[in-house]
Structure 1
Amino acid sequence: MKIISVEDLPMDAKVKEVLKRRGIVTLNPVQSEAVEKGLLEGRRLLLTSPTGSGKTLIAELGMISHLLRGGKRAIYVTPLRALTSEKYVTFKDWEILGYKVGMTSGDYDTDDAFLSRYDIVVTTYEKLDSLWRHNPSWLKESDYFILDEFHYLNDGKRGPVVESVAVRSKRRNLLGLSATVSNADAIAEWLNATPVKTNWRPVPLKEGILVNDRKIVLTYTDGVSIQLKGNDGILAYTKKIVEEGGQVLVFRNSRKMAETTARKIAELNFPLKKKEVEDIVSRLREVEDAGSEERNTLAELMSRGVAFHHAGLSKGLRDLIEEGFRRRVIKVITATPTLAAGVNLPARAVVVGDIYRFNRKILGFQEEISVMEYKQMSGRAGRPGYDSEGEAVIVVRNRKDSERIAKKYILSPPEPLESRLGNESAFYSFLLGLASEDGANEEFVRTMAQETFLDHELVKTYLETGLNWLRENEFLSDGVKLTKFGRRVADLYINPFTAKLIKDTLSMSEAENCDIPYLHMLALTPDGPIANVSKPEEDDLLEWAPCPPFTDVPDDEDEAFQYFSALKIALIVHDWIEEVDEDAILSKYGIGSGDLRSIVETMEWLTYSGYQVSKALEWESHADIMFLLNRRVSDGVKEDLLDLVRVPGIGRKRGRLLYQNGLTKPEDLVMNPEKVKALIGEKVGEKVVKDAARVIGGVL
């Protein structure tokens, strides 16, 4: 494979300057092949290669060469907000060439007109999908799309949105970036792109099976076997790697297992640099968006060079853990598989502690993970610049399974990518999105639907039933013309089945003075958050509810599970807006600070959507209740604090403190600056008083 020198690139000197500043003097084999295949000339490519093989730089060269050739705008799309932020920071390097880099995610009911000022826009698949419904002129002008982590097409939740974005992007120039997949040629053909396939990695990967039976034996695929001392294979292997100077990522199939494993590993007492550890533990205790129990638990673990990482943790905690690992202060992270698909966090070794995961819909509750999931986890092994090779081991508890598991996960390619649009909820939402585009007619919608990766016979079925359903439920009229209700639902970026449930429920319900019925209804929609609920917990939830939901507990087991999940979400949010202490909420419901933030964020969007749907249907009494509810969910306060928390810097705790001391509105803050500073501190108080004056003046 040819290796291209940066000096030989047919690009502007400033481009080469940026690369050299990063220490890049030659392109690696994957990057070189992309250039050979026409990357810099704007050729449409689908590049599939392992994690850590330099795909981001390929995207950067593609974007910059496009703009240098006179292109209007490049859009870089990722499946996760964390990746969006990471790429945004990386791409800021290119502003030296005069190109402005912007970022957007969340807030789906807007066209983000400000992005017209930017040459490179980084966003998520969901945000881009929602933007297409708003038809902003800047998006119509955008002519180069980079679809990152394209293997998310196979993801049950995000796959339909990835496909929806791909269908639209196919009309422009595009670059697809994906982990290795077995049907890359078919995907490339669908995207009208040239496939660039390689298994090259910057750090070679050594893989093996760790049998945790009567003896702990690690057997690599090259046939070499070693026996480890101890009773626990994960502990023995982790100890070995850390003693050799490496770091380890241990993946477990649940949060509880990740936390339990972290505690066990911490008992190994690794030698650490005391000052560095004390510094990061000190910063950990200052993280504001976390529960005190989480901080205390992690402080104890991190003081021993270990941490756990999962979605239940707040962003502040996750960011600090990742920073500590990158700085090599933290030696071991135990995590759920979500970390594998998230940020760039390589380690010397990866331990896949479980090949099974929980699935309540399967008899026995366990299913094996996909090969793609294993490849994503194992792909984190090997730190460029630190390791000559990475190691990934799969733990098995039964020696008889070793050969089968090695053959399935290590020696086989990942599963082929398939369309996830093959269900009513996903496909009908896709159709509504198509109908919302400027100038859309029935021929356009039908043509675009045929452009999906879904089997054409299935497309025909879903197309006819979907259009009929959208008309029958008053989203569409006269072919594919959006009704007022349909337009509002499309702009809000909620699933049409969510809108139907809101419409059907409220049409049969009187306005309630209690928030539980509304929160339960919204949590029960397809867009609502999901909470785990144990059988014993169900009675508690019914008892804790200050008033009953709009609907009764259903007899069907699956529907009952959804009912109680929604009730738990409703009660969590109810406590949040009643200003219950965050630590008390986390303890009462057995959730993490990250869970609470995610639930609040989703329910803020859904209460806003419920308000807008009610307005579109002219149900003013329901609309008024949900408008107030939305404001309270946004700030986590009772109604009497809503005026005060309009001032930046005043949240639920400071707001209540000020209110209890007679400062109940922004005007009171301006009139009593010394009292404000005495209550909340000199520096913060001074800023709050200034911001209160700006709020009164209508500047904020």
Structure 2
Amino acid sequence: MDVADVSGVPPWFADHLRAEGIESLYPPQAEAVESGVTDGESLVASVPTASGKTLVAQLAMLSAVERGGKALYIVPLRALASEKREEFSIFEEHGVSVGVATGDYEDTGEWLADKDVIVATSEKVDSLVRNGAPWVDDLDCVVADEVHLVDDPGRGPTLEVTLAKLRRINPALQVVALSATVGNAADVAEWLDAELVDSTWRPIELRKGVHYGQAVHYGDGSQQELRVESGEKPTAAIVRDTLADDGSTLVFVNSRRNAESAAKRLANTTKGRLDREERQRLAELAEELRGVSDTETSEDLADCVEAGAAFHHAGCASEHRSIVEDAFRERLIKVIAATPTLAAGVNTPSRRVVVRDWRRYSGEAGGMQPLSVLEVHQMMGRAGRPGRDPYGEALLLANSHDELDELLDRYVWADPEPVESKLAREPSMRTHLLATVASGFADSRAALLEFLDQTLYATQYRDGGGTDNLERVVDTTLEYLEANGFVEGGGDERLEATNLGHTVSRLYLDPMSAAEIIDGLEATAEPTALGLYHLVSRTPDMYELYLRSGDDEEYTMVAYERESEFCGDLPSEFEEERFEDWLSALKTARMLEDWASEVDEDEIAEEYGVGPGDIRGKVDTAEWLLGAAESLAGELDLASVPAIREARKRVQHGVGEELIDLAGVRGVGRKRARRLFEAGIETRADLREADKSVVLGALRGREKTAENVLEAAGHQHPEMDGVVPDASAAPEEDESAAEDGRGQANLGDF
């Protein structure tokens, strides 16, 4: 189908596609148009990666805008939201306004009301619905990217309930669901009352196989020699072979440690394949990476990148991951060793994908478990980019002939498992039942069940006893919510959220987290910072740090030494599981306390065995939960509000109490705040009236930084022309790393 033959889209869109080199639609895209995607018809598109799913979404959204409507694009990750916002921003030159929403869960996003296309995570959309964002009523088209994630126990129920609510709000809503790997796409289409495009077509060939011995054994029965040299690992041999054909490689492993060690080894393979210009650009990137944080992770990643390799995992800071992804897309970085999180939709195609580790540790199983076919196929789908690669190739690694046969059967020849709703799990139900009642979608048990009948769970299990199970979970959850004062009524009576229940829903808290926080605050008149950090760390909304060997003894001693600071009673050591959870929360709280006490980031990373991404994740979560605790304390008229606010501000900025005001100035942060404080500038007001030479001296002579900081503080004359730094204001400690740019830009400086 020629792009000019597509009806319903804006007149300029065909010329835009031609400018992008697209003259005609791919077969799955043409099938989507024939199924009515530009006429407002709902659609499930289950088509391989690189087969044009995003263009199908654009056709749906732009045709909705052309009809005078508004479109929403739902993604699973913040990083993907930013990527899609940038991708869609090109439409703004044609008068289509684009906005992105990923942040504050209490924000109603009113500023998005005049946007034509909005990009948001499923959690953000859920919170917007809860908080009554008025523009949600005006949606005409919703795109759900990576819809197979309804199968994920953590995030799946949110996407499922959110789509059900959006369809309830807007009965004529067009829903376009996209995925590369849905084993039961027909079930999803039935749930969404949608047409189905289920295709295996790809613009370039994806060859799947298993490397064993000295050859690749493909799924079609053919073989190709790929020799492993003496002393060489199979992964390195594959990377070397790919580089010889000017290709890049993604290597998926099962842990952060393995990602880092693999990248370091593979750097030995890539470094000899770089030309002079690449080495220079990679050296510049390495310095940029070192500037992200003053941790060993930054240093190790920079060392790998200088040699053309990289690792990618959740312990890396978001800036680390963004820099690596961009350089890999440019084929400047030749190989990334990554955990499976990189397969979750971020655009990082490569010539070859190697699934090195097809098992990972499962706490539930108590050992190593095989990955699902769906997960492996998601990884494999990263191989091959149209217009850049002549083909894509995805390989697993076998150590024996039996394993070769097993991997071919298990992954190469297998179809992805069907996605299954995880909505009936109690943790999901707590959150979503309260929100459903609080936001007015249901005012009785019967109305709740009627609403839940519109979910994927009901579609899948209506005929197999699932309805009875759903009713049991609903009743158990309502009892819990009523017992904790979040809802009133139940049974056949009118069901409504209490004021407290409305607050919990608006704050986007798991009701169990709210109950834990309330119990802790009511038990403690004057909580300390550690007590508050520990309180939020033991909620279900905070992922606690893992207790390593020897930690039990250390944190048991700390628990008894600081028992008086806890919000609530220390459990008995004989309650083994509860006591261990308490200690894990204490370890997390101690990390937050260190951060708020200005301990250097690299020391925190080493002490707690975490990366800069972990630190930032825990800090952001603690700030959110303490903000929620502050709201709950205000709702309950507790005296602890000022203490909670101070603890929140300290963890937000990573500073002691005396620096809170100063660190809140844009561009200051924890290290610069301390330098300014030691130079006699103790508050924002002081900074506004400060002697510029003192400020410049405290900021180590950095004129642009000093100007920006003074301007943010409201100084009347922030310009630094002719200002000489006051030597007496310069920090005494030797911070040569800061001078060369490595230490200044750690995450606390922003």
Q: Give the TM-score range, shorter chain.
A: over 0.9
1:309 match: 312
Partner-residue secondary structure (3-state), 1:267:
helix
2:471 match: 460
Are 1:674 and 2:673 matched, yes or no? no
Partner-residue secondary structure (3-state), 1:146:
strand
Partner-residue secondary structure (3-state), 1:506:
helix
Distance 1:382 1:286 in 2: 28
Deviating 4+ runs (over 6 angstroms): none
Which string of whole-angstrom CA distances, capped at 9 and with x for unpartnered residues, describes residues 72-107 of structure 1?
x11110000011001101111111332210011121
Do 2:292 and 2:298's aligned partners in 1 also have CA atoms closer than 8 Å?
A: no
Distance 1:542 1:249 in 2: 42
1:698 match: none
Please show how residues 115-134 of structure 1 align to structure 2 within 5 Å: 115-134=112-131
Bigger shift: residues 321-330 or 373-382: 321-330
Match of 2:679 among 650, 658, 661: 661
Distance 2:181 2:302 in 1: 38
Do 2:10 and 2:62's aligned partners in 1 also have CA atoms closer than 8 Å?
A: no
Output the amino acid matched with 1:39.
V
Which string of whole-angstrom CA distances, capped at 9 and with x for unpartnered residues, describes residues 194-221 of structure 1?
111111122211111123xxx4442111
Partner-residue secondary structure (3-state), 1:143:
strand
Which string of whole-angstrom CA distances, capped at 9 and with x for unpartnered residues, describes residues 232-263 of structure 1?
21122221111221110000000111111112
CA change 1:477–1:397 in 2 (3 A) is same
% of aligned pairs identical? 35
Do 1:18 and 1:93's aligned partners in 2 also have CA atoms closer than 8 Å?
A: no
Please show how residues 391-470 of structure 1 align to structure 2 within 5 Å: 391-438=393-440, 440-442=442-444, 443-454=446-457, 455-470=466-481
CA change 1:601–1:571 in 2 (3 A) is same
Please show how residues 203-242 of structure 1 align to structure 2 within 5 Å: 203-211=204-212, 215-225=213-223, 226=225, 228-230=227-229, 231-242=232-243
Distance 2:164 2:583 in 1: 37
1:646 match: 664
Distance 2:242 2:658 in 1: 56
Distance 1:555 1:278 in 2: 60
Distance 2:33 2:119 in 1: 23
Do 1:180 and 1:199's aligned partners in 2 also have CA atoms closer than 8 Å?
A: no
Distance 2:533 2:28 in 1: 50
Distance 1:579 1:516 in 2: 14
Do 2:127 and 2:508's aligned partners in 1 also have CA atoms closer than 8 Å?
A: yes
Partner-residue secondary structure (3-state), 1:181:
coil
CA change 1:216–1:520 in 2 (3 A) is farther
Distance 1:669 1:694 in 2: 7
Output the amino acid matched with 1:669.
L
Please show how residues 6-85 of structure 1 align to structure 2 within 5 Å: 6-10=3-7, 11-71=9-69, 73-85=70-82
Match of 2:496 among 481, 485, 488: 481
Distance 1:85 1:654 in 2: 29
Do 1:432 and 1:490's aligned partners in 2 also have CA atoms closer than 8 Å?
A: yes
Partner-residue secondary structure (3-state), 2:203:
coil
Long gaps (5+) in structure 2: 458-465, 717-750
Bigger shift: residues 462-471 or 540-549: 540-549
Shift of 1:694: 7.4
Which string of whole-angstrom CA distances, capped at 9 and with x for unpartnered residues, describes residues 343-372 of structure 1?
101111000011110112323x11111111
Do 1:251 and 1:352's aligned partners in 2 also have CA atoms closer than 8 Å?
A: yes
Distance 2:654 2:107 in 1: 24
Are 1:538 and 2:557 matched, yes or no? no
Distance 2:572 2:187 in 1: 46
Do 2:534 and 2:585's aligned partners in 1 also have CA atoms closer than 8 Å?
A: yes
Shift of 1:108: 0.4
Shift of 1:433: 1.1
CA change 1:307–1:512 in 2 (3 A) is same
Distance 2:275 2:540 in 1: 49
CA change 1:460–1:439 in 2 (3 A) is closer
Shift of 1:166: 1.8
Output the amino acid matched with 1:317.
H
Partner-residue secondary structure (3-state), 2:350:
coil
Give the number of aligned pairs: 686
Distance 1:240 1:345 in 2: 20
Match of 1:499 among 491, 506, 514: 514
Do 2:545 and 2:587's aligned partners in 1 also have CA atoms closer than 8 Å?
A: yes
Bigger shift: residues 124-133 or 261-270: 261-270
Shift of 1:227: 5.2
Do 1:75 and 1:122's aligned partners in 2 also have CA atoms closer than 8 Å?
A: yes
1:276 match: 278
Do 1:40 and 1:61's aligned partners in 2 also have CA atoms closer than 8 Å?
A: yes
Long gaps (5+) in structure 1: 696-700
CA change 1:553–1:107 in 2 (3 A) is farther
Match of 2:526 among 499, 502, 511: 511
Bigger shift: residues 391-400 or 286-295: 286-295
Are 1:471 and 2:482 matched, yes or no? yes
Are 1:178 and 2:179 matched, yes or no? yes
Please show how residues 236-635 of structure 1 align to structure 2 within 5 Å: 236-268=237-269, 269-287=271-289, 288-363=291-366, 365-438=367-440, 440-442=442-444, 443-454=446-457, 455-478=466-489, 479-513=494-528, 515-543=529-557, 547-548=562-563, 549=566, 550=568, 551-552=570-571, 554-555=573-574, 558-621=577-640, 623-635=641-653
Distance 1:286 1:178 in 2: 34
Bigger shift: residues 156-165 or 20-29: 20-29
Do 1:272 and 1:305's aligned partners in 2 also have CA atoms closer than 8 Å?
A: yes
Shift of 1:567: 1.7
Distance 1:292 1:468 in 2: 47
Output the amino acid matched with 1:340.
A
Shift of 1:286: 3.1
Which string of whole-angstrom CA distances, capped at 9 and with x for unpartnered residues, describes residues 110-139 of structure 1?
211111121111000001111111112111
Do 1:249 and 1:349's aligned partners in 2 also have CA atoms closer than 8 Å?
A: yes
Do 1:75 and 1:123's aligned partners in 2 also have CA atoms closer than 8 Å?
A: yes
Are 1:685 and 2:706 matched, yes or no? yes
Distance 2:26 2:653 in 1: 49
Shift of 1:602: 0.8
CA change 1:475–1:658 in 2 (3 A) is same
Shift of 1:537: 2.2
Distance 1:105 1:582 in 2: 26
Partner-residue secondary structure (3-state), 1:662:
coil
Output the amino acid matched with 1:427.
M
Bigger shift: residues 571-580 or 174-183: 174-183
TM-score by length of 1: 0.94
Shift of 1:405: 2.1
Do 1:428 and 1:470's aligned partners in 2 also have CA atoms closer than 8 Å?
A: yes
Bigger shift: residues 633-642 or 172-181: 172-181
1:191 match: 192
Partner-residue secondary structure (3-state), 1:43:
coil
Output the amino acid matched with 1:457.
D
Distance 2:356 2:390 in 1: 24
CA change 1:264–1:103 in 2 (3 A) is same
Which string of whole-angstrom CA distances, capped at 9 and with x for unpartnered residues, describes residues 261-316 of structure 1?
11221222432022233223223323443234223222322222111111111111
Distance 1:161 1:216 in 2: 46
Which string of whole-angstrom CA distances, capped at 9 and with x for unpartnered residues, describes residues 598-630 of structure 1?
111111111111111122122222x22211111
Bigger shift: residues 638-647 or 366-375: 638-647
Distance 1:405 1:169 in 2: 41
RMSD (CA atoms): 1.9
